[in-house]
Amino acid sequence: MVILSNVSFLCSNISLKPSLSSLHYYPSSRSHCLIRCSQEGKEEIRPLGSVVWSLGEEISKRSLLALVSASIFFVDPALAFKGGGPYGQGVTRGQDLSGKDFSGQTLIRQDFKTSILRQANFKGAKLLGASFFDADLTGADLSEADLRGATATGNTSFKGSNITGADFTDVPLRDDQREYLCKIADGVNASTGNATRDTLLCN
């Protein structure tokens, strides 16, 4: 049984004896071998070469598809949007991205919800509207990051993070989060000109 383009061909055994009905040999200046096949009840005679060529072509297509599929499933999520973009293209939600380097990247509205971002580097990154809901930012470098309008509610942890010069304008925070961040807040964001303590509404 040979499958060609999702069509099944049941071909009779090939023999070199010209007397068999399944194979016809026509002597001429160029020899041609024909193979008799049945396709959904209809009999068809095709050049043996074209059958082999079609099979090879189908196998090549399937191999390429398998290769592409594998590359999609096993790509490093942190590399999927390397270089940044207006709305980061990588899959970053619910991922372990500990120690990854996102410094200077444009990650507007990027979804880091429930991700593990321990010691990740977001220095100078544009994170406007990004979601860090329930994310673990323990020890992360958020210095000079533009976090305006980002989401950091839930159980988001900033323990040990560097927020020098970060802009938290319009970022909703729990009271305990704000209290902790105000204890370590310092600097002015070079891009927005806003002082970190002011954006956190520290007393």
Burial (CB < 10 A; 0-12, 13-18, 19+), residue 139, is middle
Confidence at residue 203, expressed as pLDDT on a 0 to 100 scale: 81
Q: Calculate the average pLDDT of the chain.
A: 76
Q: How far apart are CA 160 and CA 171, in angstroms?
A: 19
Confidence at residue 107, expressed as pLDDT on a 0 to 100 scale: 94
Say whether pLDDT at 113 is over 80: yes
Domain boundaries along the sequence of the chain: 2-73, 75-203
More confident residue, 162 or 53: 162
pTM score, two decimals? Answer: 0.59
- pLDDT-derived band at 177 (thresholds 50, 70, 90) equals very high
Q: Considering only 34-38, 155-159, 192-196, which range has the smallest mean pLDDT?
A: 34-38
Q: What is the pLDDT of residues 28-74, one digit of tens each?
A: 444 455 555 555 566 666 565 665 556 566 666 666 565 545 444 44
- pLDDT-derived band at 2 (thresholds 50, 70, 90) equals very low
- Overall fold of domain 75-203: Pectate Lyase C-like (2.160.20)
CA distances from 114 to 37, 52, 137, 151, 187 (A): 57, 52, 10, 12, 28
Q: Considering only 69-78, 86-95, 137-146, which range has the smallest mean pLDDT?
A: 69-78
Q: How far apart are CA 16 and CA 2, in angstroms?
A: 20
Confidence at residue 37, expressed as pLDDT on a 0 to 100 scale: 55
- Beta-carbon neighbour count of residue 141 at 10 Å? 22
CA distances from 87 to 49, 60, 97, 100, 120 (A): 50, 35, 18, 18, 19
- pLDDT-derived band at 125 (thresholds 50, 70, 90) equals very high
